[in-house]
Structure formats: C-alpha cells, structure tokens
Amino acid sequence: MSADWVEREHKYYQSTFKRNLVMTRGEGVRVWDADGKVYLDLVAGIATNVLGHAHPAVVKAICDQAQQLVHVSNLYINQRQVELAELLYNVSGGMRAFFSNSGAEANEGAIKLARKYGRVNRGGAYGIISMERSFHGRTLATTAATGQKKYQDTWLPLPDGFRQVPFNDLDALKAATTEKTAGVLIEAVQGEGGIYPASSAYMQGLRSWCDEQNLILICDEVQAGMGRTGKFFSWEHMGIRPDIVTMAKGLAGGVPIGAMLAAPRADIFEPGDHGTTFGGNPIACAAGVATMRTIHDKDLLNHVTQMGAYLDSKLRDLATKYPIMSGMRGIGLMRAFDLAEPRAQDVMDRALERGLLITNAGPSTIRFVPPLIITNAEIDEAVEKLDASLAAM
Ligand SMILES: Cc1ncc(COP(=O)(O)O)c(C=O)c1O
C-alpha cells in the first residue's frame, strides 16, 4: 500500500522532495504505483527514460554486464566505457569523452576544463558566462552557473567567477566578456527554464565571438541531447559546433551517467587533472551503448521529429478550447505551454488523478519531455487526459 511507504519515506528520507506517489514498475510509456494504478508517463524521469521503462535492449545490457563486471576502478580500462566513448565520438564529429555520474558533475568537469584552457591559453582567465533562466545543476559551482535566483539565494556566497547575461542577447554577452572570461556555458534549448530554444543567429554569433576572443563554448545538452529535439544534439539545429558538450539524463536510458565531451581544441586534460570513482562504470556504459544503438537502429530521431510535430498540433488544437493555454513552443519531444495563471500544480494534480504524469517548468508552464518511443496513440491518450484535466479546473 502506498500510504505506508509515504509515511516511512517522510520518517527516513530528508525533506528534499515533496512527493506522495510510490512507483513500483514501468513498461514502455507506462508506470504503476504501489496501489496498482497505471499512469501514462510523459515525464520520463524528466527527460531521462528516453527509451521508456524496462526497454528490453537496456535491460539485457544491464543484466549481461552485471554478470561480467559490475565495477572496476578507472585505474583500468573497461571495454563498455571505450565503446560508449567511441559512439559519442562518432555522433559528435570527433569529441573525446570523460564520464561522470550526473549532469551537474558533467558541467563541473566542463567548467574545470574551460578554466584550464583559460589558465593555459588566455592569460589565466577563469570566468564563465552563462544565461539568465538557465539550469546547470545543484553543486555549488553549477548553482553559481545557474541563472535562476531561486536556486542560488540560500547558498551565498557561491564560488567566484560566474555571471549571467540575458539569453539570445549577443550584445549583452559581448559587453560581459572581460580578459578574465574563459568560456560561455549555454543550453541551446533551455529546459528547466521553460523550453526556450536559442535562435540560430544568436548561436552562430556566439560561436564567432568565442572564436574571435579565444573563449571556450560549452553546450549543456543534459536535457536537450540524446535525440530529444529530433537531432542527436540540440545545437545541430543551429548550425554550430561547441568546444565542450555535457550530457547526462537519457544517455544510459535511466542508469546514472554523465558525459563531458571535448573537441580537440579544448581536449587538454592530462593525467591527474580530473577523475571519478564511479563515472563511466561498466553497467552505466553498457546501458549507454544499448541506448545509443537503439536510438540509431530504430531511427528514433525521425520518430521524435514526427511525434513532436504531432504533439504540437494536438496541443495547439487543445489551446483553441482552453484560453488559459498560450505560448506553445518547443522542438521535437521537448515542448511546453504557458498557463494564464500560476496553476501548473493544479493541472498536474488533475492529470495525475486521470493517470497522466506531466511536469512543469515554473509555476505557470507545463512541460512535456516524454520517452522518445512514444506513439501517436499514446499522445492521443495523453491529450485526452489533459483535456479532461483542464475541463475539471
Ligand atoms: C540542462 C541541465 N543541466 C544540468 C542538469 C543537472 O543534471 P543532474 O540532475 O543529473 O545533476 C539538469 C537537470 O535537470 C539540466 O536540465
């Protein structure tokens, strides 16, 4: 029974999350709670379960690897790590990987690498410029890089060397650049901030500015990567190539992992500069290899483009019925709309009652980051439940 678990959770687990739903099992785009109720899951671990729940390729990879080698230190080479690095090298056009366990850690690695670049190649520069409304993680440095005051205020003073500028504003970025700046950190499609894509013109201008000024351009693909936008990396839509890319969330189909990829220009870590105990663990990398191969073999990037357009058209239809909905936006299966009032929690609660999991991005924005395998029929079902939820408000 859920109620017992809720009580035990409140007793034994710190109050970091406000939650009352106990999940026990998942399959495809569906999850079941401890009382046996089934939900259509358009949250997908917040853009993490890219192949849905219990995908056979991921399950098999985990089980096979667990029987061979669960963990071995990064003092030694593990084959799955090399295989995953090779796949990422190929999709990124020649970037070498470093694996961690989370998105925040991947960004920490990227910040360190940019700082090393600044120290060696830009007269000791160490500063990172990031964007307002961005989200880069919960460690102290990534909190300092995150452009939302609500995540920062309690933890002041934050590490030095970070500042934020308005998104999609090249003049502001240029004005903020000083001789101390080492690099720029950006989500080409902002996720937690509310699903806002950067314009191609801005990203191209940013790329040129970084080249001119000898700055490192870091793209945080933790949420928008792994095919979520219909291309493997979201920056591919904008015709640029970053120097460093960070990934996590969907990379191993739900198994904890992070990756920091570096193009040759930025690939300057030497032995001893950086490290990790668990990062690139054989199980995580086996799951990552299976996830990446499935995305490729099942042509999921095309599928995402089609399903994204379908979800968008269904949501636009719904918006004609509910004037409270506006600001339909997104790319691929990364979509959002705004509510005229701060009632996102209300919408989510009503959807939950009807067996639909959706998430928000702030108090007035509903966000959709479903598994990339979602079908037309599942989108229809989700939109019907959303329709009923909005009607009940
Ligand atoms: C764009 C982006 N970067 C970084 C992170 C942090 O990732 P993690 O929670 O794995 O540390 C997130 C998490 O939501 C994210 O969306």
Beta strands in the chain (DSSP E): 23-27, 30-33, 38-41, 96-100, 127-131, 162-165, 181-186, 189-190, 196-197, 216-220, 244-247, 258-262, 325-331, 334-339, 356-357, 359-360, 365-368
* pLDDT score for 388: 98
pLDDT tens digit sequence for 225-265: 999 999 999 999 999 999 999 999 999 999 999 999 999 99
Q: What pTM, to 2 d.p., does this model score?
A: 0.98
CB under 8 Å to 309, separation ≥6 — which residues? none
Overall average pLDDT of the 106-123 stretch: 98
Question: Among candidates 103, 129, 263, which has minimal Cα distance to 191?
Answer: 103
Overall average pLDDT of the 259-284 stretch: 98
Q: Decide if pLDDT at 1 tops 80.
A: no
Strand duo 96-100 + 258-262: pairing:
antiparallel
Question: Among candidates 132, 97, 330, 311, which has minimal Cα distance to 234?
Answer: 330
pLDDT tens digit sequence for 301-334: 999 999 999 999 999 999 999 999 999 999 999 9
Out of 222, 226, 235, give the residue to mutate to test ligand 1, the one with the largest number of ligand atoms within 8 Å of its CB. 222
Query: How would residue 71 be classed by pLDDT, with cut points 50, 70 and 90?
Result: very high
Strand duo 216-220 + 244-247: pairing:
parallel
Q: Decide if pLDDT at 275 tops 80.
A: yes
Closest CA to ligand 1's atom 16? 223
Q: Decide if pLDDT at 370 tops 80.
A: yes
The token pair that represents 241 in the structure block: 């190539």
Give the binding-site residues of ligand 1, using a 6 Å CB cut-off. 46, 102-104, 107, 135-137, 187, 191-192, 220, 222-223, 248
How many angstroms separate the alpha carbon of residue 25 from the centre of ligand 1? 24
pLDDT tens digit sequence for 21-48: 999 999 999 999 999 999 999 999 999 9
Domain boundaries in the chain?
Answer: 2-55+299-391, 56-297
Could you tell me which CATH class the domain 56-297 is placed in?
A: alpha beta
CB atoms within 10 A of CB 319: 16
Beta strands in 255-339 (DSSP E): 258-262, 325-331, 334-339
Q: Decide if pLDDT at 124 tops 90.
A: yes
pLDDT tens digit sequence for 139-173: 999 999 999 999 999 999 999 999 999 999 999 99
* pLDDT score for 29: 98
The token pair that represents 191 in the structure block: 């996720």
Query: How would residue 130 be classed by pLDDT, with cut points 50, 70 and 90?
Result: very high
Domain 2-55+299-391: which topology?
Answer: Aspartate Aminotransferase, domain 1 (3.90.1150)
